[in-house]
Amino acid sequence: MAIQHYALRYGQRRLLNRFGRSLPWLGATVALLTLGSTIRRKGLVCGTLDCALDATPFVGALKNIAETVRGRDFIAGRPRANAGFRMQNAGNVR
């Protein structure tokens, strides 16, 4: 019984070490996907500025809290080209 216990603990430690080494890569991947999505939604300058403020430790936290309380973003995204057209013709679909 003791050998099984030690073997299980050994396997768990190896798995946790391997997962711990891959965490920075996973975090970097999520950060790059978020950056790309924000730039696509808000444009190059506004999206980069928004991500830079979010990445700054205390400024990003305060910005996110203020945006949550306010209910909208400080740095607005690009206006959608077809948004008005869709709203006007929404009731005329047959």
Residue 77: predicted pLDDT: 77
The pTM of this model reads 0.58
Q: Where are the domains of the chain?
A: 24-77
φ, ψ of residue 82 to 5 degrees: the values are -100, 10
CA-to-CA separations, 21 to 9, 14, 17, 49, in angstroms, rounded:
18, 11, 6, 30
pLDDT digits (tens, 9 = 90+) for 13-64: 888 888 778 778 878 888 889 899 989 988 899 888 998 998 888 998 998 8
Rounded to a whole number of angstroms, the distance between the first and last alpha carbons of the chain is 72
For residue 11, count CB atoms less than 10 angstroms from its CB and return exposed for 0-12, middle for 13-18, buried for 19 or more.
Answer: exposed
93 band by pLDDT with thresholds 50, 70 and 90: low
